[in-house]
Amino acid sequence: MITLPTHAARAIAQLEAAGYETWAVGGCVRDSLRGAEPHDWDLCTAAKPDQMQAVFAGERVLETGLKHGTLTVLTGGGPLEITSFRMDCGYTDGRHPDGVRFVTDVTADLARRDFTVGAMAWHPERGLCDPFGGQDDLQNGVLRAVGDPDARFTEDALRILRGVRFASQLGFAIEPETAAAMRRQVGRLVSVAAERVREELTGMLCGRFAQRALMAYSDIIIAALPELIPMVGCEQQNPHHLYTVWEHSARAVGQVPAEPGLRWAMLLHDCGKPACKTVDENGVGHFYGHPQVSREIAEQLTRRLRFSGEQTERILLLVEQHDRPLGDSDKLVRRRLVQIGEARFRDLLAIKKGDAVGQGTHPDNVAELFETERRLNHVLAQDACLSLRQLAVDGNDMTALGLHGPAVGEMLHALLDAVVDGALDNTRSALLADARARMEEPYDQ
């Protein structure tokens, strides 16, 4: 039994009053049946796009994908996506249907959908419409393609990544025939737009079962991320590391908060290790310089997948700095705060904890990171001066002392460094006196 929210029930009633069969469909039915809160409600209907427009004539409507039969009605309860029953015809580009045919039968509409658990419809009076055994699969935690799996992944290769994403989000196993077809058709992922690959993989990385999905479907994931191929099977041969580079990274991903930037950075932090690996005379593996190489590889990957500038910057900073100490004294913590700010400092704490737990060897490292976090909170609580903005003097004061051009900024930075290091009080008189003294010092030759 599913209780529809008022706005969805009302839209169904409006369409049915006009004579068009209408159902709730897809993710909202799947999530309701498994006891989770749906994040949005989609409807499908026998009404064709122009008929839908007539029914919702007095309301605010977006023509989201009218050609494909999709309309969004902006209701008080949130946007509602409504799609005409349709069959997709022809997939020459391996991604988009060449055309759609509107049909009158809900079963034909469900048949075009990718996985059985998302190919169920629900109606407040007629109940569940489940022609492909979606409910059984839901109960058994199985993702199964609707119909012939090879045909489905050939039509649209994005479904391969959707499958891995659902496995990670729901913790479901992919049914063996479906998984085998995903693997046979994995070469078709090249036809999927970079943005879509990025979004599906981001969803996968942020899933509750990401670590498990990364291990079970590593071959599919690296087909979409060929930059990472060398990580799989790369042995670390090092007493500090129990796992291969890939398994270590998968475990580390599972340890950081499910936030896109953190999860991507965690996946990528060691991607340069295979290229940096050396083995010493005792047979121990080393990876000198790997954070920089990881950053270079991550840079290519984020560019190829068209990450935003902001996301790229965050990910690359975390990858590059994941191995650098954050500070074992208040003074060092303050210095690092000046360099990277509180948000990135906290990100790095999360990354370093994930890395340490993912190694599977040194629990003491994690305890040290909690100590650093405590130190960070302590430094922040002191209301310390950590940026030029907080300094008790500014550029005008420096100009008044007779400095010009770049010398102004240089002096302010020198004063900030001295304050951060505890060598100087952040008071106007102390700072001005120190600036004057510095101006009288002879220039270094």
Q: Which residues bind Mg ion (CB under 5 A)?
A: 27
263 contacts ligand ATP (rule: CB under 6 A) = no
Q: Shortest distance, CB of residue 2 to ligand ATP, whole angstroms? A: 14
Nearer to ligand ATP, 113 or 334 (CB): 113
- For 8-37, letters b (16+ CB in 10 Å) and e give bebbbebbbeeebbbbbbbbbbbbbbeeee
42 contacts ligand ATP (rule: CB under 6 A) = yes
Stretch that binds ligand ATP, among 112-120, 227-235, 390-398, 403-411 (CB under 6 A): 112-120
Residue 158 binds: one of Mg ion, ligand ATP, none (C-beta under 5 to 8 A by kind)? ligand ATP
Burial class (CB in 10 A: 0-12, 13-18, 19+), 252: buried
Considering only CA atoms, which of 287, 344, 288 is closest in space to residue 321?
344
Residue 156 binds: one of Mg ion, ligand ATP, none (C-beta under 5 to 8 A by kind)? ligand ATP
Nearer to Mg ion, 119 or 351 (CB): 119
Residue 81 binds: one of Mg ion, ligand ATP, none (C-beta under 5 to 8 A by kind)? none
Which of 12, 158, 201, 403: binder of ligand ATP (CB under 6 A)?
A: 158
Stretch that binds ligand ATP, among 156-164, 263-271, 340-348, 420-428 (CB under 6 A): 156-164
27 contacts ligand ATP (rule: CB under 6 A) = yes
248 contacts ligand ATP (rule: CB under 6 A) = no
Nearer to ligand ATP, 81 or 355 (CB): 81
Residue 118 binds: one of ligand ATP, Mg ion, none (C-beta under 5 to 8 A by kind)? ligand ATP
Nearer to ligand ATP, 156 or 434 (CB): 156
109 contacts ligand ATP (rule: CB under 6 A) = no
- For 140-162, letters b (16+ CB in 10 Å) and e give eebbbbbeebbebbbbbbbbbbb
Show the tokens assigned to 356. 């340490």
- How far is CA 159 from each of CA 142, 152, 167, 183, 290, rounded to the nearest angstrom? 15, 8, 12, 12, 34
Q: Shortest distance, CB of residue 22 to ligand ATP, whole angstroms? A: 15
The label of the residue with tokens 């010009």 reads 404
Residue nearest to ligand ATP (CB): 27
Nearer to Mg ion, 11 or 416 (CB): 11
Q: Shortest distance, CB of residue 34 to ligand ATP, whole angstroms? A: 11
Which of 22, 45, 113, 369: binder of ligand ATP (CB under 6 A)?
A: 113
| Neighbouring residues of 319: CB distance < 8 A, sequence distance ≥ 6 | 265, 268, 269, 271, 291, 294, 295, 298
**C-alpha–C-alpha distance, residues 274 and 50, integer Å:** 57
**C-alpha–C-alpha distance, residues 203 and 210, integer Å:** 9
Which of 123, 159, 334, 375: binder of ligand ATP (CB under 6 A)?
A: 159
Q: Shortest distance, CB of residue 159 to ligand ATP, whole angstroms? A: 5
114 contacts ligand ATP (rule: CB under 6 A) = yes
Nearer to ligand ATP, 160 or 316 (CB): 160
| Neighbouring residues of 423: CB distance < 8 A, sequence distance ≥ 6 | none
DSSP character at residue 284: -
Considering only CA atoms, which of 61, 190, 174, 186 is closest in space to residue 114?
174
**C-alpha–C-alpha distance, residues 163 and 44, integer Å:** 22
Show the tokens assigned to 220. 């599919």
**C-alpha–C-alpha distance, residues 23 and 16, integer Å:** 10
What residues from 336 to 375 belong to the interface with ligand ATP (CB under 6 A)?
none
Q: Shortest distance, CB of residue 167 to ligand ATP, whole angstroms? A: 13
Which of 49, 69, 97, 118: binder of ligand ATP (CB under 6 A)?
A: 118
What residues from 53 to 92 belong to the interface with ligand ATP (CB under 6 A)?
none
| Phi and psi based region of residue 423 (left: phi greater than 0; alpha: psi -120 to 50; beta: remaining) | alpha
Stretch that binds ligand ATP, among 3-11, 114-122, 193-201, 251-259 (CB under 6 A): 114-122
Q: Is the dihedral of CA 216, 219, 220, 222 positive or negative?
A: positive
Q: Considering CB under 6 A, how many residues would be counted as binding ligand ATP?
A: 10
Q: Shortest distance, CB of residue 118 to ligand ATP, whole angstroms? A: 3
Show the tokens assigned to 170. 């729901």
Q: Which residues bind ligand ATP (CB under 6 A)?
A: 26-27, 42, 113-114, 118-119, 156, 158-159
